[in-house]
Chain A
Amino acid sequence: MGIDIATRLKEIKMVGGPGRNFPWPPTIIWLPAVAVLLLVLLPLAYLALRTMGAGSDLWGLLFRPRIFQILVRTVLLVVAVSGVSLAVSLPLAWLTTRTDLPLRRVWAVLTALPLVMPSYVAGFVVIAAFGPRGMLQQLLAGTFGLERLPEIYGFPGALLAIAMISYPYTLLTLQASIRGLDYSLEEASLSLGNNGWKTFRRVVLPQLRPAIATSTLLVALYALKDFGAVSLMRYETFTWAIYIQYQTSFDRVLAAGLSTVLVIVAIIILFIEAYTRGTAKYHRVTVGIARQPVYRRLGAWRWPSLVFCSLVVLLTTVLPISVLLYWLIRAMVVGERFDIAWSPALNSGYVSLLAALVTVVAALPVAILAVRFPGRMSSFLERTTYIGFALPGIVIALALVFFGANYAIVFYQTLVFLVLAYMILFLPEAVGALRSSLLQINPRLEEAARTMGRTPWQTLRSITIPLMRSGILVGAALVFLTTMKELPATLLLSPIGFRTLAASIWSYTSEGFFARAAVPALLLMLLSSVPMAFMVIRERRGKIE
């Protein structure tokens, strides 16, 4: 106990800290990064264009008590969703990566799956299960004669539905980060007499800080931009107000004005996250290689841990699937017929895979620039990529409709343009994951390669990218899963006649055909679990190698 691990960590941070001279990034890094930057700025340019066209009455419409009230509700929801998703993800991530939890891989796949659920489906599911006369109430009415449940509409329902589909952002990023930890630090702490809990709190948790921050940022921004769930839950948020402007008055100007306010809120959230980041180093700095972790025996904690995992999976995966199956079966009983259309499934899988690849490739230079060449410019660049993620999908889609139809008609409504739109929408998911994993790699490895005569491109290929594998896989998975369910951009920008699963689900639910919507919805979950399972299994193999 002579050496305090925290002090040791602080010392680690000092090495190679501020004061080091950072060279100008190689062209192969900054050029693509700037190109990406220009693309993600398109939506902002569009908003500027639309708000500039507005008269002074825009201000009158923006600065109203109602709007302020909505802003407060929005912030409340964002904070609550972020908190809940962190509280659920942290233990889950630890249990599924570092303990002898039974069926660890199964839990790892099942807990990531809710991310693929479209938000309005989550909303309908929550209402069907917990709403007045919902499944739970009928169950309790039968056994306990319970007539009323606590009101699900409003804040609780919105919180539940959004947390349910966004907590995997935190979970997946944390899992990757825990896998990238150097176990020797924990070993040292344990050998110095700190117990497991103290080691977790003082050694592991500080090292997870970047992953916690970036992934919570994604959750927060997601809560900010969600529309489907909040509208069903009758919880008025800013994004809801923006959609309403399009829906009721086709008012593009007021919508753009409100979106600009939303951008400002997003920038404030980004600042808060930047503030929590600090300048710490998270990679091993001394000679030696990272130690393989030892899986901790859960012992007496085994059952409570299993119960916890089961509860989360029950609520976020089993429940939605059961509700969908219930809708399906009930309609079959009445005599409805269903046929599975495979081509939307194929389209969804294909375009999501493309989007995942392109987005990860686009995120790579941004992440490298942000981590290896820190400075005002690179951090500005990295932060800007988040803007597309924070805005409601319809705003981004319309911005791209405007630029596409008027300045890039050759590409407009082609797959190229659609994939580009997904890239702008989901870039930060990949940037965040890549960034967290890059932080865990010692730059000296790259420097060593360079001194041995490798070009920057060769270094990137043979050193950096292989070491970032777990971040790359997570980034790709996040983009894949969220592209599968994306709606506004898909509807407006896909090649005409290009049907996806998300579009089918939406088309049916909008007319109230829930049973028919259940077929593509179940297919969406099923299809998404395949790459997830692949990822989890691959990750394990990597460990044994």
Chain B
Amino acid sequence: MRKLFSGLVTMVIISSFILGACAPAAQPAPAAPAPAQTLTIYSGRAESLVKPIIEQFGNVAGVKVQVRYGGTAEMAAAILEEGKNSPADVFFAQDPGGLGAVDSLLMPLPDTILSLVPARFRSPKGTWVGISGRARVVVYNSQKLAENDLPDDIWDFTDPKWKNRMGWAPTNASFQAMVTAMRVLWGEEKTEQWLKGMQSNNPKVYPNNTAQVNAAGAGEIDVGFPNHYYLYGIMQEKGESFPARNYYMRGGGPGSVVLVAGTGILETSKNKEAAQRFMEFMLSPVAQQYFASQTFEYPVIAGVKTHRLLKPLAEVKSPDVDMPQMADVKGTVNLLRKVGIIP
């Protein structure tokens, strides 16, 4: 026993030395000029989706890239807590809400970057740009329903015939962005009516889009309201026989709004030049083709082909929503709280 204990003590001492030795090495030296440029990215997008293309940038540009992966909300909160000491150069967010939350810490981007992306896919203040697009869709169980059974407009799901057949993920940022689009397109009152109508149809509440799409495939629900690309990730694993399909609203409207995942550069970054090169690369045809073919998303620049399984962006009846108005996340959260959908 004594041996065990002295062994423990020795281990602790040795490990604290190792840790001590590692500590200075692991953190970026602020003053010393680095031999090669290092770019630090906080990514709210999953490693499995973006790692290959980020690595490719590192190789092409000769920049050492380090990435911290996590949820978009957690990453945004961390950047806010870190304040001016944030080690991050670039924030790669899953949704505009995350970028909006740290908006005040982001630097204004040069026109050379902003001009690459259509206005509806970038920040109204010019602090971030969209890198890939995702459409809001209806996912339906293809054993129970056909596309013809589904209504033209998302408003029609308030019909009592959908009672107990639907699921949604109201805490999800993309869902909330869709509600913001509703407020812009329909006005406050109609949006509230839609939310109440949906509530009275007793939708099942899912924590995220993945769970929702899985539930649709399992027949737990007949229809759900996710982003378009989750279905394809699941089909990769479960095969194309997975009995769920996407439906783009025939009549367009807020139910088929196209949102973006995007990036911004932190004002406190010491590697702004490398960060800008990163963004330019992400908007290059190579990277855009990657998102289109590997993650089943929509490219945000012209001239890139979408995946064969996807409905081309030009055919999606996506409404034109004014970006500055889309920034009012707070108003949407308050409305959702008022109706009692979120706490």
Q: Who on chain A is nearest to B170 by CB? A: A248
Q: Is A43 part of the binding interface, using a Cβ–Cβ cutoff of 8 Å?
A: no
Residues on the B chain within 8 Å of A492, using CB: 68, 70, 74, 78
Residues on the B chain within 8 Å of A361, using CB: 8, 12
- Which of A27-35, A190-198, A206-214, A460-468 lies on the face that meets chain B? A460-468
Contacts A405-B85, A466-B2 known; A241 to B343 CB distance under 8 Å?
A: yes
Contacts A232-B207, A241-B343, A247-B171 known; A512 to B233 CB distance under 8 Å?
A: yes
The B contact surface, by secondary structure, is helix
Contact at B239–A497, with CB atoms within 8 Å?
no
In the bound complex, what is the Cα–Cα distance between A416 and B206 (angstroms)? 37
Q: Is A508 part of the binding interface, using a Cβ–Cβ cutoff of 8 Å?
A: yes
In the bound complex, what is the Cα–Cα distance between A333 and B46 (angstroms)? 25
Q: Who on chain A is nearest to B242 by CB? A: A334
Q: Is B262 part of the binding interface, using a Cβ–Cβ cutoff of 8 Å?
A: no
Q: Is A276 part of the binding interface, using a Cβ–Cβ cutoff of 8 Å?
A: no
Q: Is A406 part of the binding interface, using a Cβ–Cβ cutoff of 8 Å?
A: yes
Contact at B101–A250, with CB atoms within 8 Å?
yes
Q: 23 interchain pairs (CB within 8 A)?
A: A236-B343, A250-B101, A252-B81, A334-B238, A357-B15, A397-B74, A405-B87, A409-B85, A411-B27, A414-B19, A414-B27, A491-B69, A492-B74, A496-B26, A496-B68, A497-B67, A503-B69, A507-B47, A509-B210, A511-B233, A512-B233, A512-B237, A516-B237
Contact at B48–A414, with CB atoms within 8 Å?
no
Q: Is A368 part of the binding interface, using a Cβ–Cβ cutoff of 8 Å?
A: no
Residues on the B chain within 8 Å of A409, using CB: 27, 85
- Interface size range on B against A: 35 or more
Contact at B81–A402, with CB atoms within 8 Å?
yes
In the bound complex, what is the Cα–Cα distance between A512 and B204 (angstroms)? 19
In the bound complex, what is the Cα–Cα distance between A244 and B176 (angstroms)? 12
Contacts A410-B27, A510-B210, A515-B237 known; A246 to B22 CB distance under 8 Å?
A: no
Show the binding face of A for B, using Cβ within 8 Å. Answer: 66-67, 70, 131-134, 153, 231-232, 234, 236, 241, 244, 246-252, 327, 330-331, 333-334, 336, 354, 357-358, 360-361, 394, 397-398, 401-402, 405-406, 409-416, 419, 461-462, 465-466, 469, 488, 491-492, 495-497, 503-504, 507-516
Tell me the minimal C-beta distance from B341 to chain A in angstroms: 10
Q: Is B276 part of the binding interface, using a Cβ–Cβ cutoff of 8 Å?
A: no
Tell me the minimal C-beta distance from B68 to chain A in angstroms: 5
Contact at B27–A510, with CB atoms within 8 Å?
no
Per-residue CB contact flags for chain B residues 193-205 toward chain A (1 = under 8 Å, else 0) read: 0000000000011
- Which of B105-113, B211-219, B304-312, B317-325 lies on the face that meets chain A? B211-219
Contact at A132–B219, with CB atoms within 8 Å?
yes
Residues on the A chain within 8 Å of B69, using CB: 491, 503, 507
In the bound complex, what is the Cα–Cα distance between A511 and B336 (angstroms)? 25
Tell me the minimal C-beta distance from A338 to chain B in angstroms: 11
Contacts A247-B73, A247-B171, A357-B11 known; A405 to B81 CB distance under 8 Å?
A: yes
Contact at B19–A416, with CB atoms within 8 Å?
yes
In the bound complex, what is the Cα–Cα distance between A6 and B270 (angstroms)? 72
Residues on the B chain within 8 Å of A509, using CB: 210
Tell me the minimal C-beta distance from B208 to chain A in angstroms: 7
Residues on the A chain within 8 Å of B330, using CB: 249
List B residues 37-93 near A (Cβ within 8 Å): 40, 46-49, 66-71, 73-74, 76-78, 80-83, 85-87
Tell me the minimal C-beta distance from B313 to chain A in angstroms: 22
In the bound complex, what is the Cα–Cα distance between A358 and B87 (angstroms)? 27
Tell me the minimal C-beta distance from A308 to chain B in angstroms: 32
Tell me the minimal C-beta distance from A198 to chain B in angstroms: 35
In the bound complex, what is the Cα–Cα distance between A394 and B214 (angstroms)? 26
CB within 8 A of A412: which of B27, B66, B77, B329?
B27
Tell me the minimal C-beta distance from A131 to chain B in angstroms: 7
Show the binding face of B for A, using Cβ within 8 Å. Answer: 1-2, 4-5, 8, 11-12, 15, 19-20, 22-24, 26-27, 40, 46-49, 66-71, 73-74, 76-78, 80-83, 85-87, 97-98, 101, 171-173, 176, 204-211, 213-214, 218-220, 230, 233-234, 236-239, 329-330, 333, 336, 340, 342-343
Tell me the minimal C-beta distance from B244 to chain A in angstroms: 12
Contact at A244–B237, with CB atoms within 8 Å?
no
Contact at B86–A405, with CB atoms within 8 Å?
yes
In the bound complex, what is the Cα–Cα distance between A465 and B2 (angstroms)? 9
Contacts A133-B220, A414-B26 known; A398 to B81 CB distance under 8 Å?
A: yes
Closest 4 CB pairs of A and B: A512-B210, A250-B101, A405-B82, A466-B1
Tell me the minimal C-beta distance from B170 to chain A in angstroms: 9
CB within 8 A of A244: which of B5, B8, B23, B171?
B171
Q: Who on chain B is nearest to A412 by CB? A: B27
Contacts A336-B236, A413-B26, A507-B47 known; A66 to B340 CB distance under 8 Å?
A: yes
In the bound complex, what is the Cα–Cα distance between A452 and B134 (angstroms)? 76
Contacts A405-B85, A413-B26, A512-B233 known; A250 to B77 CB distance under 8 Å?
A: yes
Tell me the minimal C-beta distance from A161 to chain B in angstroms: 13
CB within 8 A of A334: which of B11, B73, B237?
B237
Tell me the minimal C-beta distance from B217 to chain A in angstroms: 9
In the bound complex, what is the Cα–Cα distance between A496 and B70 (angstroms)? 11
Contact at B208–A510, with CB atoms within 8 Å?
yes
CB within 8 A of B230: which of A415, A503, A512?
A512
Residues on the B chain within 8 Å of A250, using CB: 73, 76-77, 80, 97-98, 101
Tell me the minimal C-beta distance from A233 to chain B in angstroms: 9
Residues on the B chain within 8 Å of A488, using CB: 74
In the bound complex, what is the Cα–Cα distance between A354 and B13 (angstroms)? 11
Residues on the A chain within 8 Å of B336, using CB: 248
Q: Who on chain B is nearest to A399 by CB? A: B81
In the bound complex, what is the Cα–Cα distance between A52 and B19 (angstroms)? 36
9 additional A-B residue pairs with CB within 8 Å, beyond A397-B74, A491-B69, A497-B67: A70-B343, A250-B77, A250-B97, A331-B238, A402-B81, A409-B85, A414-B22, A416-B23, A511-B48
Residues on the B chain within 8 Å of A410, using CB: 23-24, 27
Tell me the minimal C-beta distance from B197 to chain A in angstroms: 20
Residues on the A chain within 8 Å of B209, using CB: 512
Contacts A246-B73, A496-B67 known; A513 to B237 CB distance under 8 Å?
A: yes
Residues on the A chain within 8 Å of B4, using CB: 469
In the bound complex, what is the Cα–Cα distance between A236 and B71 (angstroms)? 20
In the bound complex, what is the Cα–Cα distance between A153 and B218 (angstroms)? 14
Residues on the A chain within 8 Å of B85, using CB: 405-406, 409, 412
Contacts A507-B48, A513-B233 known; A249 to B219 CB distance under 8 Å?
A: no
In the bound complex, what is the Cα–Cα distance between A414 and B18 (angstroms)? 12
In the bound complex, what is the Cα–Cα distance between A331 and B233 (angstroms)? 12
Residues on the A chain within 8 Å of B210, using CB: 509-512
Contacts A410-B27, A495-B26, A513-B237 known; A465 to B5 CB distance under 8 Å?
A: yes
Residues on the B chain within 8 Å of A232, using CB: 207, 211
In the bound complex, what is the Cα–Cα distance between A59 and B218 (angstroms)? 42
In the bound complex, what is the Cα–Cα distance between A398 and B75 (angstroms)? 10
Contacts A66-B340, A249-B333 known; A231 to B207 CB distance under 8 Å?
A: yes
CB within 8 A of A357: which of B8, B214, B218, B237?
B8
CB within 8 A of B206: which of A234, A394, A466, A504?
A234
Tell me the minimal C-beta distance from A542 to chain B in angstroms: 8
Tell me the minimal C-beta distance from B141 to chain A in angstroms: 10
Q: Which of B172, B237, B329, B336 has the most CB of A within 10 A?
A: B237
Contact at B66–A496, with CB atoms within 8 Å?
yes
Contact at B46–A496, with CB atoms within 8 Å?
no
Contacts A232-B211, A488-B74, A496-B87 known; A508 to B230 CB distance under 8 Å?
A: no
Residues on the A chain within 8 Å of B5, using CB: 461, 465-466
Residues on the B chain within 8 Å of A496, using CB: 26, 40, 66-68, 87
Contact at B218–A131, with CB atoms within 8 Å?
yes
